[in-house]
Structure 1
Amino acid sequence: MNEPRSTYPFIARGASAELFDMGGGQALKLFRDSVSDEMIAREADASAHAAACGVPTAAATGQRIWDGRRGIIYPRLEGATLMDWISRNPMRAGWALDRMGEIHAVMHRVDGGTLRSLKQVLATDIAYGPAPDALQRAAIAYLETLPGGDALTHGDFHLGNVMMTPHGMMVIDWSKAAAGHPAADAVRSEMLMRFGIGPSDWVTNLWRDWAARRLRRSHAAASGVSTRDIDAWRPVVALAWLRARDATGRTPAFMRYLDGALKQAGLPFTG
């Protein structure tokens, strides 16, 4: 896709958008055509809501069309993603993950407001995913027994969506935000850390598993979310993942993770 016909310097590119420096301490995030208007509006609204409620993030200051592309204007954040920061400061990884877990807990103490229901998102992803019909029906019935919750959840909270800035860590990319139970969001982060896009050699996988455990423990200590809560939400969050996520080189490991979670919950499993 062509860059905008402007003198805005290019900053970064992601799967769904590109970021440009507008000057004056502002950045313009321009989305790809495949991104829905609903998702763009949700990201803008959720970022503003989170910032107003004390979550360390950059609040959207407006939306605009530029060169035929839809965009959001943000304050420009200086720094690197936590993923890049840890790669340069590996001995401080534990501290960074602990702080990240604390921020996740701060987020979960905020009310989700008018955001969509996370339970409904999970039910839809399960229903439109590749799981057998019997498993889908059983999982959705199981999901209905879980507490709804009304906390602000991020839905994509991982090392690439937290920035290390001169003012501390800042959360970015609220496009998957919803109102729901903190444990469901913590499970989602666990899966993103372990099975999300990224390198998948055996050494890296050991680090990813360790980092996911460290993040989960720090979040639990700060939030009060228990192991029982995590275990209860894991099967449905993992099953919903199948709709659109690729576990990359860790697909066999993810399927074992999913089957273990389903079996523990008494649901039909795939293995």
Structure 2
Amino acid sequence: MMERLEQCDLDISALKLLGQGRTASVYAYAEDKVIKLYLPGIPQEGVRREWAASSLAYSLGIRTPRPYECVRIDAATGVVYQHISGITLLGIIFQKPWAVSSSARSLARMHAEIHSREGGELVTQKSVLDYNIGAAPLLTPEEKQRVRLHLDRLPAGSSLCHGDFHPDNVIVNDGCWTIDWMNGMCGHPAGDAARTLVLLSVGSMPENTSRTASVFINLVRRRLKSVYLSQYLKATGMYSTSIDEWLLPVAAARLAEGIPEAEKEQLVMMIRSRLTQDH
């Protein structure tokens, strides 16, 4: 339970850093265990959400690292997990671009399996989206209101949703493992799949990226998105229109996250185009 927050007398500088992301760093912690330590400024609510979602997913048989306990080291809060070594699905795609289709199919099948479970008492998808839409920059109050009205009309759903499912949150070794449940929630599978499509569709590249590299990356991205969607629909029996209607609120909510300005501009163009169609 999150309430049992153990204080550890460990020196963070003595731990071996294994990886670093936007919200947390991962260190070797003990035999076959790692600790995910959240960066200063990350709200405790976010840590609670990850603990609750990862614990639920593990208990429901999803292939995800086992969460052991929440701890505090100095002023940092962390979650101790089973150590799963391997390469991310994104890393495989970069190393072997010809494997993009098989990687996309694996991604879709994993996502469909997650959605086959119930989300229980996790925070609800629509409440998270509504809050982030309200906090989204670059949209006018009228645009936010229209997006919220659109969201209100969508079905709530009660499935387990990852909230940030993409190839960099899948580790591959003897199989595929889903990681990073900080955005885990209870909601509609179509909304969660729409989030993945937005992540696969919109993303700015570094300014020094060559034209050749940009063309290649965009080709890989389009193939990944196309095969993922096709396989996900096949695995779930869902219609693409069900996912498409979630793209507007999901894209608007994405604006509230710490993403590059160029990516925000792409999202705003998508949002305003859809609002014009939705008028």
TM-score (normalizing by structure 2): 0.87
| Deviation (angstroms), 1:263 | 3.1
Query: Using a 3 Å threshold, how does the CA distance of structure 1 residues 243 and 7 change in structure 2: closer, same or farther?
Result: closer
Aligned to 1:156: 164
Aligned with residue 141 of structure 1, among 135, 146, 149: 149
Letter in 2 for 1:209: R
Would you say the 8 A contact 2:195–2:250 is kept in 1? yes
Given that 1:16 and 1:32 are in contact with CA atoms closer than 8 Å, whether structure 2 keeps it comes out as yes
The structural deviation recorded for 1:258 is 2.5
- Correspondence for 1:28 among 35, 59, 62: 35
Check whether the contact 1:81–1:163 (CA below 8 A) recurs between aligned residues: yes
Asked if 1 retains the 8 angstrom alpha-carbon contact of 2:252 and 2:267, the reply is no
Instruction: In structure 2, give the amino acid aligned to 1:60.
Output: P
Whether contact under 8 Å (1:45, 1:60) holds in the other structure is no
CA positional deviation for 1:149:
0.5
- Given that 1:112 and 1:151 are in contact with CA atoms closer than 8 Å, whether structure 2 keeps it comes out as yes
In structure 1, which of residues 4, 8, 17 is the aligned counterpart of residue 24 of structure 2? 17
Q: 1:208 to 1:245 in 2, by over 3 A?
A: farther
In the TM superposition, what are the counterparts of 1:121-270 in structure 2 within 5 Å?
Answer: 121-130=128-137, 131-166=139-174, 168-196=175-203, 201-246=214-259, 249-250=262-263, 253-266=266-279
154-163 or 257-266, which moves further after superposition? 257-266
Matches within 5 A, 1:68-79: 68-79=75-86
After the TM superposition, list the runs of 4 or more consecutive aligned residues in structure 1 that deviate by more than 3 angstroms: 3-7, 196-200, 247-256
CA contact (8 A) 2:252 2:268 kept: no
Q: Secondary structure at the match of 1:35?
A: coil
Check the 8 A contact 1:247/1:254 in 2, yes or no: no
Gaps of 5+ in 2: 1-9
For structure 1, the 5+ residue unaligned runs are 267-271
Q: After superposition, what is the alpha-carbon deviation per residue over 1:154-201, rounded to whole angstroms, capped at 9, x for unaligned?
A: 1111111111122x1101000011111111111111111222465572
Task: Find the aligned partners of 1:14 and 1:4 in 2 and give their Cα distance.
Answer: 20
- 1:206 to partner: Cα distance: 2.7
Letter in 2 for 1:169: C
Residue 61 (structure 1) aligns with: 68
CA shift for structure 1 position 43? 0.6
Say whether residues 1:94 and 2:101 are aligned partners: yes
Q: How many residues align?
A: 263
Contact 2:19 2:26 in 1 (8 A): yes
* TM superposition shift of 1:223: 1.5
Shift of 1:132: 1.1
> What SS does structure 1 have at the residue aligned with 2:56?
helix
Helix, strand or coil at the partner of 1:61: strand
How far apart are 1:247 and its partner, in Å? 5.4
Cα distance, 1:160–1:4 mapped onto 2, change above 3 Å: farther
Cα pair distance change 1:114/1:133, threshold 3 Å: same
| Distance of aligned partners of 1:7 and 1:251 in 2 relative to their CA distance in 1, 3 Å threshold | closer
SS in 1 for 2:246: helix
Rounded Cα–Cα distance in structure 2 between residues aligned with 1:125 and 1:193: 20
| 1:45 pairs with 2:52 | yes
Cα displacement string for residues 66-94 of structure 1 (whole angstroms, at most 9, x for unaligned residues)? 13311100000010111112222222221
Quote the Cα distance in structure 2 between the aligned partners of 1:75 and 1:112. 22
Output the aligned Cα RMSD: 2.0
- Tell me the distance in 1 between the aligned counterparts of 2:259 and 2:14: 36
Alpha-carbon shift at residue 252 of structure 1 (Å) = 5.0
Once residues 215 and 4 of structure 1 are traced to their aligned partners in structure 2, the CA distance between those partners, rounded to angstroms, is 43
- Could you say which residue in structure 1 is the equivalent of 2:4? none
Q: What is residue 269 of structure 1 aligned with on the other side?
A: none
Matches of 2:178 and 2:205, distance apart in 1: 19
1:195–1:248 contact (8 Å) kept in structure 2: no
